[in-house]
Amino acid sequence: MIRRGSAIKSLFIVILISIFLANGAQAIDPIRQYQIDVVPIANPGTTMNVTEEVSRQIIAQVDLAFNDATDGQIRFTFRKLHPISFPDTATLSSGDIQKVTGLIPVADPGFDKAILVGVIANTSAAKFGGEAILGGNYIMMNGYWTLNSIGPGILAHELGHSLGISHANSAVCTTQLPIVCEQSEYGDFSSVMGTYTSKYVTNPLISRFSATELDELKVLPKESKAIAAESGDYKVAPAYSKGISLPKVLYIPIGSELTYSVEYRPAIGKDSGLSMSQLQVPGINSFYPNTPSHGLQLRMLPTVGTQFKDSQPTFSNYKINGTALIVSAFKADQVQPIGKVFTLSDGSTITFLSGDPNTGATVRVQRSLDKEPPIVSELRPRWITKQWIDYYPGRGNIFKNSLNEWDYPIAEIPLDAITDNTLIKTIQVEVNGQIVEQIDQPMLNGIESYTFKSTKPDTFTFRLIGTDYAGLSTSTTTASLTSTYFQIRTPYTQIESGKDPRTSLTLIVSSSSEKTKYVLENLSSGKIASIVESNGEIEYTITNLTRNQQFTALLSGRDDLGYTDGGTEIIYEPDTTECTNKQCYVGFQWNVDTGFWATGAGNMTLQERIGTKWINIQTAKPVADPKGAMKNYVTYLMKINHKTPGKHIYRLSIAASKKYSGQITSTFTQVVSTP
């Protein structure tokens, strides 16, 4: 929350704001149009006389001032005067305007933003002339809602806050390392965000910003900004000049942050009042005191200093957000002589060499010796396009668009994984071992990340390679992201044995959605005998499975949008089919069950009755039990493989031995079938 005091009385401010321009210069924005609504607020015991005509003229004054300061890129339009609000208790804060009026400013089509200005009768209970929340939509004016008063100037200041600009301060710093500074809030007498006194007494209104603030307002084109990352002489154009092809602000980076800025503000034209020690009030023989503030100017900018904190300036009092014009003393003129040398917080120096309103100013920057390569932190790329579909279970992040084509995801690679004690000159982006982009001066150009548009499903491995202005390079470790086609959730499946567990099965599929249709295909054997759908389940009956062989198939689902589930492999192990002395199958091996006999028995012959004769099929010698279970007995190993189906009658014949007489077993019948 930012409060603006009177021009005559000492300034009284309260701030709750964000850091200004902490990490980079700004990119230019197109022309921005803002609408202004006004609502009078009659606190208890006060009366209000706010007219639409005066409100319209005040907004017109402010609009002309911003039109001049931003070269027509920021404009304000009066829209409406709301009826007077009568709160039960005194309203003294912009944060309470919505509550007491019930008004929420919403911009009309074609406008970037709407701002509501609440006007109360001037009261000493509010220790400010105006108040606004940084970047907010509400402004409180403590009276001064008249023409030819300080009101338009105060409103211009508060609108600066609404557009995201903090206070313009001043600072007195030590001249040798370490650089320690004391700040004075509002101390910059050349900015409307500080104590720019001329704005109170000029008509038409003059409300100008520093070139650094103009860059924060995103009204400076790229060619109007430069970075002094290397030693050398640099030229800058006057901040409000036209037709001079030079930068208007020169940034000096320290620790990968824009720590200082240099600009040239000659006291000419509409800025002529910057050189005066007092300014006359129009229409009366009275003067406002003024502190001259012009010429070449060096400012400190807000920094974070997390990685290079020791190389940034420190403060003897509390740190104030916003820019800080470096001055020799708080009560002295804010004019630096030609030849002035400043020592910066990292040991670099800057010298003011010359200044000419017609051709520009020259400064000399001597950077401290840089022997340290850029440093790296963890690289954290991320997908910035959607990674799921609401209420649509599945997996994968490549989705279909409205044209039913695949829309491949976009990755964001933050560039802050590489920083430098001075400034990064270039960052190369590597994807899967190939350099795909080089980003020059990312900080000056306000580039915080690189976006990578994938064109296929893959695992993408990213790496950044950074080079500073000393030519020293380093690279991050790699980090990867994977993209896959979106697939709907696979169904729950259950397999049960069929009527004959050796040759049939039942597959039960619980559908994941009624919009999903399933196909069972690529059967390794057998056939689909039936498909029955009931209560969200599909039951497939598969018969004629090949015996003693694993069954496999592929169950595939596809929904109405064309998404598939990637398929589910169906695997079933049927019960084993074995030949016995009673039943066998063509092509299957029959291990004849010969039983166990006393040790010393003779050879055994398998005989088949063909017609009226018994034909010897196979003879085997007695052997010990292969399984070792019947140690005191012998058995016989005979293996038969039928090639045709049929019915066979067999018997076993044991030959006589020295110990036992011969023996013939009972006959048995075996049926051989086609599997």
Q: Name all contacts of 621-624 with Cβ < 8 Å and 24+ positions apart.
A: 622/597
Percent of the chain with pLDDT over 70: 94
CB distance 459 to 482 below 8 Å: yes
In a domain? residue 16: no
pLDDT of residue 7: 34
In a domain? residue 201: no
pLDDT of residue 443: 78
- If you average pLDDT over residues 276-288, what whole number do you get? 76
Q: How far apart are the first and last CA of the chain?
A: 88
388 shares a domain with 414: yes
- If you average pLDDT over residues 289-298, what whole number do you get? 94
Average model confidence (pLDDT) across the chain: 90
The CA R_g of the chain, rounded to the nearest whole Å, is 45
Distance CA 288, CA 278 (A): 5
In a domain? residue 276: yes
Specify which of 6-20, 193-207, 238-252 reaches the highest per-range mean pLDDT: 238-252
- If you average pLDDT over residues 40-64, what whole number do you get? 95
Distance CA 486, CA 400 (A): 8
User: What does the DSSP assignment read for 550-568?
Assistant: -EEEEEEEE-TTS-B---E
pLDDT of residue 472: 94
Distance CA 169, CA 184 (A): 6
Closest CA to 46 of 131, 133, 124, 149: 124
Q: pLDDT band at 356, cuts 50/70/90?
A: very high
Q: pLDDT band at 560, cuts 50/70/90?
A: confident
> Which residue type occupies 501?
P
CB distance 37 to 116 below 8 Å: yes
Distance CA 325, CA 301 (A): 9
Higher pLDDT, 17 or 666: 666
What is the tens place of the pLDDT at every residue in 583-614? 999 999 999 999 999 999 999 999 999 999 99
Domain of 567: which CATH number?
A: 2.60.40.10
- If you average pLDDT over residues 388-392, what whole number do you get? 73
363 shares a domain with 246: yes
Flag whether pLDDT at 12 surpasses 90.
Answer: no
In a domain? residue 400: yes
How many Cβ atoms sit within 10 Å of the Cβ of residue 16?
10
Classify residue 419 by burial, with Cβ atoms within 10 Å: 0-12, 13-18, 19+. Answer: buried
Flag whether pLDDT at 378 surpasses 50.
Answer: yes
Question: ∠80-84-86 over CA atoms, to 5°?
Answer: 145
How many Cβ atoms sit within 10 Å of the Cβ of residue 592?
21
pLDDT of residue 459: 97
Q: pLDDT band at 10, cuts 50/70/90?
A: very low
- If you average pLDDT over residues 114-125, what whole number do you get? 96
Q: In this predicted structure, which of 138-142, 237-241, 421-425, 433-437 has the lowest mean pLDDT?
A: 421-425
Distance CA 203, CA 59 (A): 13
Q: pLDDT band at 145, cuts 50/70/90?
A: very high
Counting the structural domains of the chain, the total is: 4
460 shares a domain with 333: no
> Which residue type occupies 306?
T
533 shares a domain with 421: no
Domain boundary among 533, 548, 572: 572
Domain boundary among 541, 572, 603: 572
User: In whole angstroms, how far apart are CA 49 and each of 119, 122, 131, 156, 506?
Assistant: 10, 12, 20, 21, 87
CB distance 415 to 450 below 8 Å: yes
CA 84 from centre of chain: 44
pLDDT of residue 4: 40
260 shares a domain with 225: yes
pLDDT of residue 423: 85
522 shares a domain with 454: no
Flag whether pLDDT at 566 surpasses 50.
Answer: yes
In a domain? residue 337: yes
- If you average pLDDT over residues 540-544, what whole number do you get? 96
- If you average pLDDT over residues 342-361, what whole number do you get? 97
In a domain? residue 568: yes
pLDDT of residue 414: 96
Flag whether pLDDT at 551 surpasses 80.
Answer: yes
- If you average pLDDT over residues 111-138, what whole number do you get? 96
Higher pLDDT, 142 or 273: 142
Flag whether pLDDT at 139 surpasses 90.
Answer: yes
In a domain? residue 566: yes
CB distance 146 to 280 below 8 Å: no
571 Cβ neighbours under 8 A, 6+ residues apart: 550, 551, 552
pLDDT of residue 5: 39
CA atoms within 13 A on the CB side of 493: 21
Q: What's this model's pTM, rounded to 2 decimal places? A: 0.69
Distance CA 139, CA 115 (A): 7
What is the tens place of the pLDDT at every residue in 167-213? 999 999 999 999 999 999 999 999 999 987 665 556 678 889 999 99
350 shares a domain with 240: yes
357 shares a domain with 258: yes
User: In whole angstroms, how far apart are CA 481 and each of 428, 430, 464?
Assistant: 18, 13, 15
Distance CA 446, CA 416 (A): 12
Distance CA 50, CA 39 (A): 8
pLDDT of residue 285: 76
479 shares a domain with 493: no
446 shares a domain with 381: yes
Distance CA 625, CA 551 (A): 34
- If you average pLDDT over residues 139-166, what whole number do you get? 93
231 shares a domain with 253: yes
Flag whether pLDDT at 251 surpasses 50.
Answer: yes
pLDDT of residue 2: 46
- If you average pLDDT over residues 407-421, what whole number do you get? 93
User: What does the DSSP assignment read for 389-435?
Assistant: BTTB-EE-SBEE-TTS-EE--EEEEEGGGEE-SS-EEEEEEEETTEE
Could you tell me the residue range of the domain that residue 524 belongs to? 489-572
Domain boundary among 452, 467, 483: 483
pLDDT of residue 14: 27
Domain of 619: which CATH number?
A: 2.60.40.650
635 shares a domain with 657: yes
User: In whole angstroms, how far apart are CA 100 and each of 113, 250, 298?
Assistant: 21, 45, 44
In a domain? residue 155: no
Q: pLDDT band at 19, cuts 50/70/90?
A: very low
CA atoms within 13 A on the CB side of 17: 29
CB distance 407 to 396 below 8 Å: no
Distance CA 125, CA 506 (A): 85
What is the tens place of the pLDDT at every residue in 611-623? 999 999 999 999 9
